[in-house]
Amino acid sequence: MTDQGRRPEVRDAARIVVKIGSSSLTTAAGGLDPHRVQRLADVLAASRSAGVELVLVSSGAIAAGLVPLRLPRRPRDLATQQAAASVGQGMLMARYTQAFGQHAITVGQVLLTAEDVVRRAHYRNAQRTLYRLLALGVLPVVNENDTVATEEIRFGDNDRLAALVAHLVRADLLLLLSDVDGLYDAKPGRPAARRVEEVADVDQLRSIQLGKAGTAGLGTGGMATKVEAAGIATGAGIPVVLAAADQAAAALAGEPVGTLFRPTGARPTSRLFWLAHASTPRGRLQLDPGAVQAVVDRRSSLLPAGITAVEGSFTAGDPVDLVAGNGEIVARGLVNFDAAELPELLGCHTTDLASRLGPAYAREVVHRDDLVLLRPAGRGGRST
């Protein structure tokens, strides 16, 4: 295929995050399939030889642990999942070490929990580690640390983890490899189902996420999480290709396989991306209509006068959600006051607060530089 026929988003990508799921690495019986692992390694090694930096986000640890533990199926309880992951993660890395070793490529294991991206300091540590591995010529293999994750704090699916990693390493492309060869406008397998070749803008992506584009298969086979991950990545300026695992070589060559999600937003700073997608809000601030308009449409800071209620227990510097009267979360920001301080300030102007309580209170509750919109100006839905 000539360069003219290749996707420029892929052709020009110097750093790519590739995510592969358990079903693309295992046998029908549930254990790791060494042939599938080797084929993936061969494809990624070819891209490395062409000068592309790669990060692999790989599921498969729990699945790999089923056979040695004589478990007939993936366990439902968290403790047994963690035990299977403990056994399987070493087996998974051993397979990758062997497969990539045939191409003289060193791999490095990076296990992350949601806590590692929820906490800002941990987020930056993970970022530094990944950058250093890439600088040393290592191919990082990233997975969720299932052995210590909890039901309350976990990614739940490596698609979202891959989108966060793509921003962490400032990737030029995110490739999601699945057992389905793209996004369909109906449940795959139905006679009328057609593959969506390209998702071009935020309106089309939002209609898919809201189920208004005839995506009957959105909730099956993990497709919902893949579309969500595509939304996170494309909103941060990173194009996404969703393709079948056996199309990996063609997808990395830029051939028009699978579904291409074009960027829908500009690449934000790591801090604002963390705030939007990786932070855990510690409370909620209810806004009056005027404050919603000021924050969303005019990109203004949030002042005490526009807040009608405070929920949660938080301290200054914590992330909080800013909520409209109808319950919609319109923004998230880092608050400048403790939750206990705010009730006395609600509805008051900063000049009055300064004269009554002192100059320390003549400031924004959330400064616009510490705020990220989750709803675009004048529109519904989420955006960064």
Q: Is domain 3-272 classified as CATH 3.40.1160.10?
A: yes
In tens, the pLDDT along 257-315 reads 999 999 987 777 767 777 877 778 999 999 999 999 999 999 999 999 999 999 999 99
Distance CA 366, CA 100 (A): 48
Query: What was the pLDDT predicted at 18?
Result: 98
Residues 6+ apart with CB under 8 A from 68: 87, 88, 91
Distance CA 104, CA 253 (A): 22
Helix axes 223-235, 202-209, angle to 10 degrees: 150
Decide if pLDDT at 63 tops 70: yes
Q: What is the pTM of this model?
A: 0.77
Distances (CA, A) of 329 to 270, 325, 373: 21, 9, 9
Query: Where do we find the tokens 């898919």?
Result: 208
Homologous superfamily, domain 281-373: PUA domain (2.30.130.10)
Average pLDDT over residues 342-346: 89
Task: Pinpoint the alpha helices (H) of 154-297.
Answer: 158-168, 202-209, 223-235, 248-252, 270-273, 289-296
Query: Where do we find the tokens 């009730």?
Result: 343
The residue type at 321: D
Q: pLDDT higher for 186 or 247?
A: 247
Return the H-helix or E-strand segment holding 78: helix 78-101
In tens, the pLDDT along 117-145 reads 666 677 788 889 999 999 999 999 998 87
Q: pLDDT higher for 97 or 214?
A: 97
Distance CA 148, CA 82 (A): 7
Q: Which residues pair with 142 in a beta bridge?
A: 57, 110
Every domain of the chain and the residues it spans: 3-272, 281-373
Query: What was the pLDDT predicted at 115?
Result: 64
Average pLDDT over residues 99-117: 88
Lateral strand order in the sheet of 107-112: 107-112, 139-144, 53-58, 15-20, 173-178, 240-244, 259-261, 198-199
Average pLDDT, the chain: 84
Decide if pLDDT at 26 tops 50: yes
pLDDT grade, residue 216 (50/70/90)?
very low
SS3 352: helix
